[in-house]
Amino acid sequence: MKKYITYSVSLLLAAFALSGCADWLTPERKVVQHPDEQSPILRDDAYWQALREYKQRGDHKIAFGWYGSWTATGASYQSRLVSAPDSMDIISIWSQWHSLTPEQIADKEYVQKVKGTKVTFTTFLDNIPAEFRAGEVPTEEEIATFAAAWGRDSIAKYNYDGMDIDYEPGYGASGPLVGNPCPELFNVLIRELGKYLGPKSGTGKLLMIDGVPYAVRGEMAEYFDYGIVQAYASGGYTDLQTRFNNAYNAGWKPEQYIFAENFESYWQNGGVNHTTREGETVNSLLGMARFNPTQGFCAGFGAYHMEYEYAHHDMPYKYMRRAIQDVNPAGGNIVVSLASTSLSNNYILVNPDGTLDGELNASLSLNFSKPVPSDISFEVVLDNSLVESYNAMNGTAYQSIDPEKVKLAPVTTAAGAYASSPARIELDATGFSGGSYLIPAVVNLPADGIYSSREQLVYYVAVSFSENYIEYHDAAGNGSTLSGTEITPVIPGWTINCYNGTNDSGANGVWNLDSDEQKNAMFDGSRWSDNRGYWYTQASQYNDWGTVGGNFIVTLDKAYDISGFQYYHVFAQGGEATVTDVLYSVDGKDWTSLTGGVEVKVTDSVGWKVFQFKTVVNAQYIRVMYGPLPSGVMVSMDEIDIYAPAN
């Protein structure tokens, strides 16, 4: 940001002539557009005191940043720590941290004492510095000497609040102290530094590690206040969750973990597009600020080269300020959000005798920007006025539901929790014969409390009632109990494709399907016992592909009236497979479910698996969806018959 300097010289000569005071010869400098003047906050003693107390409490998301190009001199405040947002909790020096000038000492002391910001320094420790060791590999005694010199003496000399170790095994770093997991020599260093820094020292000085924190394993993680992950260009919460899972498995706690974006590259937009757990697309710094792993409340968020963001013309540190305010709003508000905003789809089948298969299985949960201070309960109400707007926005035709049929439990949260317990949504399904309905469950926040939300908290639950069009049964051995008449296959013209996953992924993982001839053989009447070979309908758990489920699609030469189908089951090797849906289509694009979402257990016995339709459908495509297989199970088949209703 460009700075303008004005000089107060009015009456300067007259004043000098009257007073003769030499001090008046030095003009007063005024910095226009000083970052502190970008917001109408009265920064008086009470403000600074409240700010320091806020940081000491530790009941909020930590705002962290690596700060480079620190000189504390020159016209631009980008070189000064004092320019950083007041609410920064930790700034780590990413430049020369020793041999400080008087200007740097004063700048650092101001943000520490007035703003309450902790200032640390970052260092690489692939090896200890050469002056502390006699050979290439340090001894334990040399490591102890180094740890005392830097972790105690240098910290005290320059009045730093701690040390951040940049540790990046696998990313170009090498040396006797580098590895994943950490070599024992690095663990020795951690234990020695832990005497002066970190939670085990009792000094209040921070010990942090960034890069690959989960290289630190087991009890060694307890020596660190924070692990900072360089989650640069993170595209969504799944990426952050995976990163933390690695750390959690290594012994790290959620309250120790900070996720950081690269503002050397992405300062202009606050990062890259990032999808939150709630389904919202935000900049990745904000996504990291909002993120909490499933294991607990996350420590915080940060940015590499945070000082680049000073250059925003409209507001220095614009995206860092927004992220801080979003998760740590002024006034101590706690931001409430839905744990999931995905539509909850539920299917209930109405049998011919009026009995029901399936039930509404839905619940909603809340997340909080910081742990709640006391036990709290939030009212949940049905708002049918939202059904029309939902349909208009999503192109659906859901009906509203009788409020007397719906029971909405309140959402309760215990003191200290960052997420609520699930609140059940129940439905009295008697009396429904068909149709699709929408339940907009709205969470009400206390009108005068400390809780706020970014938008209305509405969790949508869809319930579809349909007749049960599938009757499944086994026909062990060689017999078939399908009613109707088998349709004579058209070869070529009929074919089959098998897929791993629930979509047309193109991954097959089956054998004997490479050629059109092999595909045609699925309709020729011969089976595995004829030594012709067979197909898996989805991949097995032996190679882990079965964990995602699978499906197969039968394509006919034209649309037929179909009353059912059967396939010959070769083996399932010790466990049931689950058919999650049977669908039909005329064009291969628009599919209609015949099961309504109710699962069918397919036994592992050798023989025909029969799917009788309770109503005749006109279709050219039949699709069978499988859920994930039990461990060690394969599902296979080697013949498919399609039936039409009897004449």
What are the tens digits of pLDDT across the range 183-201? 999 999 999 999 999 999 9
3-state secondary structure of 621: strand
Tens digit of pLDDT for each residue in 265-292? 999 999 999 999 888 899 999 999 999 9
- Whether 261 shows a pLDDT value over 50: the answer reads yes
Percent of the chain with pLDDT over 90: 56
DSSP, res 493: T
Same domain, 474 and 570: yes
Give the pLDDT confidence of 588-632 residue by residue, as tens digits. Answer: 888 888 876 667 777 767 778 899 888 888 999 999 887 776 666
Q: Is 552 helix (H, G, I), strand (E, B) or coil?
A: strand
Asked whether residue 1 carries a pLDDT value surpassing 50, the answer given is no
**Do residues 393 and 476 share a domain?**
no
Half-sphere exposure of residue 375, counting CA atoms within 13 Å on the CB side?
2
Q: Which domain holds residue 292?
A: 35-331
Instruction: List the CATH number of the domain containing 100.
Output: 3.20.20.80
Q: Give residue 574's pLDDT.
A: 56
Last residue of a domain, one of 331, 362, 392: 331
Do residues 321 and 347 share a domain?
A: no
- The dihedral formed by the CA atoms of 129, 133, 134 and 139, expressed in degrees to the nearest 10: -140
Please check whether residues 403 and 476 belong to one and the same domain: no
Whether residues 181 and 135 fall in one domain: yes
Checking if the pLDDT of 502 tops 80, the result is no
Give the global pTM: 0.64
Same domain, 395 and 490: no
6 and 62 both lie in a single domain: no
Q: Return the number of other C-beta atoms located less than 10 Å from residue 405's C-beta.
A: 18
How far CA 345 is from CA of 338, 400, 438, 464, 626, in Å, comes to: 17, 15, 10, 8, 18
In angstroms, the CA 637 to CA 347 distance is 28
State yes or no: pLDDT of 202 exceeds 80. Answer: yes
Both 59 and 99 in one domain: the answer is yes
Residue with the bigger pLDDT between 372 and 146: it is 146
To the nearest 5 percent, what fractions of the chain are helix, strand and coil?
Answer: 25, 30, 40
CA 84 vs CA 65, 89, 117, 312, 316: distances in Å: 9, 10, 10, 13, 8
Which one of 273, 298, 331 terminates a domain? 331
Last residue of a domain, one of 331, 356, 378: 331
The pLDDT of 225-254, averaged and rounded, is: 96
CATH number of the structural domain spanning residue 576: 2.60.120.260
Q: Is the peptide bond preceding residue 492 cis, with omega within 30 degrees of 0?
A: yes
Residue 365: partners with Cβ closer than 8 Å, 6 or more residues away: 338, 339, 340, 411, 419, 420, 421, 422, 423
Distance of alpha carbon 289 from alpha carbon 294, whole angstroms: 15
pLDDT value at 28 more than 60: no
State residue 634's pLDDT score. 65
Q: Are residues 257 and 298 in the same domain?
A: yes
Q: Are residues 324 and 355 in the same domain?
A: no
535 pLDDT band, cuts 50/70/90, is low
| Tally of domains in the chain | 4
Q: Are residues 322 and 359 in the same domain?
A: no
pLDDT score at 148: 97
Is the domain of 457 the same as that of 345?
A: yes
